[in-house]
A and B are shown apart, each in its own frame.
Chain A
Amino acid sequence: MRFLKNRAVLITILLFFVSLQLYSLNLREKSGQNFISQVVLTVTYYPQKIIYIVSDKVMTTWQDYMDLVNVRQENIRLHEDIQKLRVEKFELAEDGIQNQRLKKLLDFKEIPSYPIVSANVIGGSPSLLRSEVIIVDRGSHDGISQGMPVASSEGIVGRVLTVGDRSSEVLLITDPISAVDAFIHRTRVRGIVKGTGSGCVMEYIEQNSDVSKGDKVISSGKEGFFPKGVIIGTVSDIETKGNFLSAQVSPFVDLDSLEEVVIILKTNNNIVLNE
């Protein structure tokens, strides 16, 4: 220890170069699971879960109290909503019948559905350097494996990065190393949706393509990673980048306030990363 203490600056410089080399071994080359990482995830799972349960109870109690305050106005508003939903339900039933009829006419193949596992978000990254990571309370014990897609009721959330016994890390689609093959719902124009840290950008869109603000972006399923047709977000801005168009995409899911997600039990070795 005295040796280390007397040569701290020299060792720091050495460590800097070691770190530089380690950084080169990027995530793409990472294969399989690291045992020590699994141990860390397992050790931190139980205290994280306790904090999650306690804070959830406190928040639920507070929310119940707040709900009681405006219950009368809420009741009136809900009655109005029910009326609107009854009309919508009727219209949807009509559309459904028409949809089935058209599918038969086109000999349409059903999109395969996958089993899902619901999970609670019990933590997030401890650093801003890669803050686009969340921790969920499902792990290999629940059949989760690395690379599985994660979604919420509103759309794509990300994919499983590291799996512990009872918890897993999920890389959000807004992380700079995330990439999803996608297309514009309205015109079927294809591109790659990459994370930017604070949002997403759809790149490699052919220059003369029909893309406009407000268009919905959905997963293409082409890379075999995310299922086809899951919504990613909405185009908020478009610019030209070299020979391609680049569209800013606002994720549909509010990734800052995620509480529950579903993990799609779909495995694929072809992990798509933006590195």
Chain B
Amino acid sequence: MNKYLSIIFLVLLSVVFITIQTTLLSPHNLNYYYPDLNLILIVFLAIFSEVRGGFFLTLGNGYMMDVLSGNLPGTFTISRLSAYLLVRSGSNHVYLRKALVQGLVIFLATIFTWIFILTIIKIKKGDIGDITAKYILIQGIVNALFGIPIFWMIHRINARFQK
């Protein structure tokens, strides 16, 4: 029963995060300085391997990003799934329980997903708009700063469902 409550909580959280990211904290309002809550949640699902249904939640979150950002065909779904799998492969490492390391992982996951997406667009000679290395670094830092307290919060709430 608690397992299902935990999954329901994370599904609702996914919808809340993507809603905030398209309204109050959207790039339209904050430009480069918006936190990518969707990616932060995916990294959380990857680090805390005891969370059930992480793979499918990541798929759903990535797909929501694809739809709400103008339906880029699978770009976010696949890049975020890759980031999830890479982080997940080292999720049993004891250092991943430390807040600073978690911040670093969020930072690296941000850099990874952008490199993944921009490489594809560059190969296909698509338009990457105004996205520069500076922007990616800024977003990595913003995500790490927002991510640490968000991790703490989600972990505490989710732990209640796990009991």
> Does chain A bind chain B?
yes
Chain A residues packing against B (C-beta within 8 Å): 1, 4-6, 8-9, 11-12, 15-16, 18-20, 22-27, 30, 34, 36-37, 40-41, 43-44, 47-48, 51-52, 55, 122-135, 161-162, 169, 171, 175-177, 197-198, 256
Q: A5-B85, A19-B79 are in contact. Are A24 and B124 (CB under 8 A)?
A: yes
For A121, give the chain B residue with the smallest CB separation. Answer: B28
C-alpha gap A131/B18 in the complex (Å): 14
Q: Which of B1-9, B97-105, B129-137, B150-158 contacts A (4 or more CB under 8 A)?
A: B129-137
Q: How far is the CB of A59 from chain B (nearest CB, A)?
A: 12
Chain B 69-112 near chain A by CB (<8 Å), digits 1 or 0: 11111111011011001101100000000000000000000000
C-alpha gap A176/B124 in the complex (Å): 14
With a CB–CB cut-off of 8 A, which chain A residues contact B74?
Answer: 18-19, 22-23
For A39, give the chain B residue with the smallest CB separation. Answer: B67
CB-contact partner of A162 in B71, B86, B121, under 8 A: B71
C-alpha gap A124/B27 in the complex (Å): 8
C-alpha gap A169/B75 in the complex (Å): 18
With a CB–CB cut-off of 8 A, which chain B residues contact A198?
Answer: 129-130
Q: A15-B78, A25-B73 are in contact. Are A48 and B22 (CB under 8 A)?
A: yes
Please state if A128 and B124 are interface contacts (CB–CB under 8 Å): no
CB-contact partner of A47 in B19, B70, B81, under 8 A: B19
Please state if B68 and A44 are interface contacts (CB–CB under 8 Å): yes
**17 extra interface residue pairs, beta carbon distance < 8 Å, beyond A30-B71, A123-B26, A162-B67:** A19-B116, A19-B120, A20-B123, A23-B74, A26-B73, A40-B63, A44-B64, A51-B23, A55-B23, A123-B22, A123-B68, A124-B28, A126-B18, A126-B22, A132-B70, A169-B70, A197-B127
> Does B21 belong to the interface (CB within 8 Å)?
yes
Please state if A51 and B24 are interface contacts (CB–CB under 8 Å): yes
For A131, give the chain B residue with the smallest CB separation. Answer: B27
Please state if B85 and A8 are interface contacts (CB–CB under 8 Å): yes
- Counting chain B residues whose Cβ lies within 8 A of the other chain, the interface size class is 35 or more
> Does B148 belong to the interface (CB within 8 Å)?
no
C-alpha gap A122/B19 in the complex (Å): 10
Q: How far is the CB of A273 from chain B (nearest CB, A)?
A: 11
> Does B146 belong to the interface (CB within 8 Å)?
no
With a CB–CB cut-off of 8 A, which chain A residues contact B128?
Answer: 129
| Max count, chain B CB within 10 A of own CB: residue among A37, A44, A129, A161 | A129
A–B Cβ pairs within 8 angstroms, 16 of them: A5-B88, A16-B78, A19-B116, A23-B75, A27-B71, A41-B68, A44-B19, A48-B19, A123-B23, A124-B22, A124-B29, A128-B31, A131-B27, A131-B69, A134-B28, A197-B130
